[in-house]
Structure 1
């Protein structure tokens, strides 16, 4: 685990717009959110549960007791309570007039309406219905009741409706629903429109077909930054060395193995990047001569090594966009801050995140980390926390640096 992922229960009720809930699900997943789908019986007349199960990778809840017509048991009888306690929000898309009425009146005769009463998490509804139903006094009163209780309403749009009428009641666009949901939950969207280039993991420098020079990097820090940037609305290009991690589904993943391959991939994507964060542990040396055949064991062996390209320093010298921010990572075992400050100066970048990898239980392969961020003007201590939490701290700095550089450029 890189950190706790946000989980949303997505309620789908029986309206023609039910199919659009599948797109909302995908957009939420792109932002790093885990989605549990609950469908009413009427919703299943418009979209099959299999669609949502395939997209979410999770069981779709369709019945109050058990699955389908299965006999109820203790687990299924209290499932609405466990779901209610395990979610960060309940989002209903589309919210029909019937579902709004149930919520407003406290009627709990299916899983979704019972979940609404059982959860203390924020509730968000995206209504969709015929214009006359939307404008009916009963619907208006129900919405007023729900708003007074703190329910967030994502207003429908106006236009041609499925019934052939024209007017209000059309489901808001899926992108708008996803963005509003994220905003309501307090997840910053300050990187929308930005491209973030992240490098992660180790590089492997071949000695022969079965041996290589490498390091202990797991890639967890870089993957956490990629996930955090996606949550904040950024387009993410993740250039990754060999790891056992599953990358965020919305990242554009470029797999590499050697330092040379990583350098080529970084340079290919560098012109589009607004922010570059290099967490990858790139090998400093590679074998001067690589054997095409396995080298047999014959006692002592000498390796001739040559330096690899210093990718971070090359980036610092070749900025190609205004306000382009470059942040490097440095694993240190002694004199960490002074070494980081020297790297900051030599490589010409905006910040160095220094990890003291001599600390037990942090850094390599761990889900937790601590660091000192060194910039030209300050040293920022980051106490021990999850790597996903640290990723947000690093991105906070990137946003701050971007704004500062923009301000300097404007004032010239």
Structure 2
């Protein structure tokens, strides 16, 4: 980060003290740091603190222009190589999601073309509020990088999700931002992960045993190769890698919509999610009460996401998964050809070390040119690294044909 221009936005929250520590670490790493504070932020930490740590003036007011030859918020917007808002309050996220610029920070954020990272911090109930989740989703779709909050003890006395990422974590995010290298630079990799949940009534749903670990490991492996990674995730308990654009979904329909929305701009698509093949034909707005006799639920097919992508693909490299319990290679090859895939990752879910929820996998990778590669028991992170390497190798072979 030596010589990089990093603009820090500080909003009103107790986590503002962490941003002071981050500013110090960034300066020690050789970065040029400038700080914008909201009026609320100054209630927690003084501008003098950030001025002393950054050795730069602190920007507080939109209409105070110390240099008459420049417009301060435009000058800052153009100066920054990257922007990090830490902490980011629910209020500022709502403004950004609506395109509102009514103070020094929000006008600068609207004016900059630099990548923007947001590090939310708030009470757990606020963080889980539907409006906040909706704004986070909008911001991610608009290109903001939202660094997921941590779980733990909060200043308000609650324990839960809402703690701002630690300064060391934020330092790593920025460091990774500037040190991205790899063979997938400039490429967008779209990955689906985890299970889906198909609603029956407000308390019941159909799902499967997928943990999402393989998909999340693939996202991390693609990110390490310099890719822009979009991760469409069903419900999991996993923490996504910093720097990955995460879109959280629940049902197969939501996963289909989110995946197809980004499909045209993706270079590589890896469908590792375990998507429901069927959903209840009838759902209930209220809990269905227990009856004396049996309950039969009629099911209907969901849209086949992988087949739809196979039919629609143009330049994309399409990778599927075949989690089978018998005739693994036969079914995998059948799926590879019938769904117009480039590669498929096959595994036997009954084989020890290869099932759902575990930390290991045993995979066989097949491609449409007849290549077959078998791997021993690997951690899912190691398996993901191998899969990404094989995808890169496949692309290189195609380019030389």
With normalisation by structure 1, the TM-score equals 0.55
Q: Deviations over 1:67-94 (max 9, x none)?
A: xxxxxxxxxxxxxxxxxxxxxxxxxxxx
Residue in structure 2 matched with residue 212 of structure 1 by the alignment: 205
Residue in structure 1 matched with residue 357 of structure 2 by the alignment: 365
1:384 aligns with 2:377: yes
Q: Report if the CA contact (8 A) 1:15-1:46 is conserved.
A: no
For 2:330 and 2:198, locate their aligned partners in 1 and report how far apart those are by CA, in whole Å: 29
Residue in structure 2 matched with residue 374 of structure 1 by the alignment: 366
Aligned residue for 1:383, secondary structure, equals coil
Which residues of 2 match residues 281-300 of structure 1 at below 5 A? 281-298=274-291, 299-300=293-294
Residue in structure 2 matched with residue 303 of structure 1 by the alignment: 297
Aligned residue for 1:391, secondary structure, equals helix
For 2:380 and 2:250, locate their aligned partners in 1 and report how far apart those are by CA, in whole Å: 23
For 1:306 and 1:15, locate their aligned partners in 2 and report how far apart those are by CA, in whole Å: 55
Larger radius of gyration: 1
For 1:361 and 1:367, locate their aligned partners in 2 and report how far apart those are by CA, in whole Å: 8
Q: Report the CA distance between 1:284 and its aligned residue.
A: 0.6
Q: Deviations over 1:182-215 (max 9, x none)?
A: 7xxxxx6111111000000000011111111110
Residue in structure 2 matched with residue 343 of structure 1 by the alignment: 335
Stretches (4+) displaced over 6 A: 12-17, 174-177, 179-182
Q: Report if the CA contact (8 A) 1:373-1:380 is conserved.
A: yes
Q: Report the CA distance between 1:249 and its aligned residue.
A: 1.5
Structure 2: gaps of 5 or more residues: 1-22, 35-50, 56-85, 88-171
Q: Taking structure 1 as reference, are residues 17 and 285 closer, same or farther at Cα in structure 2, changes over 3 Å only?
A: same
1:333 aligns with 2:325: yes
For 2:236 and 2:176, locate their aligned partners in 1 and report how far apart those are by CA, in whole Å: 31
Q: Taking structure 1 as reference, are residues 404 and 364 closer, same or farther at Cα in structure 2, changes over 3 Å only?
A: same
Aligned residue for 2:323, secondary structure, equals strand
Q: Taking structure 1 as reference, are residues 15 and 292 closer, same or farther at Cα in structure 2, changes over 3 Å only?
A: closer
Q: Report the CA distance between 1:362 and its aligned residue.
A: 2.8
For 1:259 and 1:181, locate their aligned partners in 2 and report how far apart those are by CA, in whole Å: 36
For 1:348 and 1:372, locate their aligned partners in 2 and report how far apart those are by CA, in whole Å: 18
Q: Report if the CA contact (8 A) 1:331-1:356 is conserved.
A: yes
1:221 aligns with 2:232: no
Q: Report the CA distance between 1:378 and its aligned residue.
A: 1.8
Q: Report the CA distance between 1:279 and its aligned residue.
A: 0.5
1:20 aligns with 2:12: no
- What's the C-alpha RMSD, in Å, of the aligned pairs? 3.2
Q: Deviations over 1:259-300 (max 9, x none)?
A: 111001110000111000010000010111111111111131
Q: Deviations over 1:41-100 (max 9, x none)?
A: xxx97459xxxxx89xxxxxxxxxxxxxxxxxxxxxxxxxxxxxxxxxxxxxxxxxxxxx
Q: Report if the CA contact (8 A) 2:26-2:33 is conserved.
A: no
1:314 aligns with 2:303: no
Q: Report if the CA contact (8 A) 1:209-1:294 is conserved.
A: yes
Residue in structure 2 matched with residue 201 of structure 1 by the alignment: 194
Q: Taking structure 1 as reference, are residues 374 and 21 closer, same or farther at Cα in structure 2, changes over 3 Å only?
A: farther
Aligned residue for 2:334, secondary structure, equals helix
Aligned residue for 2:264, secondary structure, equals helix
For 2:327 and 2:371, locate their aligned partners in 1 and report how far apart those are by CA, in whole Å: 17
Larger RCO: Structure 1 or Structure 2 (Cα < 8 Å, ≥ 6 residues apart)?
Answer: 1
Aligned residue for 1:330, secondary structure, equals strand
Q: Report if the CA contact (8 A) 1:325-1:401 is conserved.
A: no
Q: Report the CA distance between 1:176 and its aligned residue.
A: 12
Task: Number of aligned residue pairs: give it.
Answer: 250
Q: Report if the CA contact (8 A) 2:24-2:53 is conserved.
A: no
Q: Report if the CA contact (8 A) 1:340-1:352 is conserved.
A: yes
Q: Report if the CA contact (8 A) 1:205-1:283 is conserved.
A: yes
Q: Taking structure 1 as reference, are residues 181 and 332 closer, same or farther at Cα in structure 2, changes over 3 Å only?
A: same
Residue in structure 2 matched with residue 270 of structure 1 by the alignment: 263
For 1:256 and 1:406, locate their aligned partners in 2 and report how far apart those are by CA, in whole Å: 35
Aligned residue for 1:272, secondary structure, equals coil
Q: Report the CA distance between 1:17 and its aligned residue.
A: 6.6
Q: Report the CA distance between 1:22 and its aligned residue.
A: 8.1
Residue in structure 2 matched with residue 399 of structure 1 by the alignment: 392
Which residues of 2 match residues 137-286 of structure 1 at below 5 A? 189-286=182-279
Q: Report if the CA contact (8 A) 1:193-1:234 is conserved.
A: yes
For 2:25 and 2:215, locate their aligned partners in 1 and report how far apart those are by CA, in whole Å: 41
With normalisation by structure 2, the TM-score equals 0.57
Aligned residue for 2:400, secondary structure, equals helix
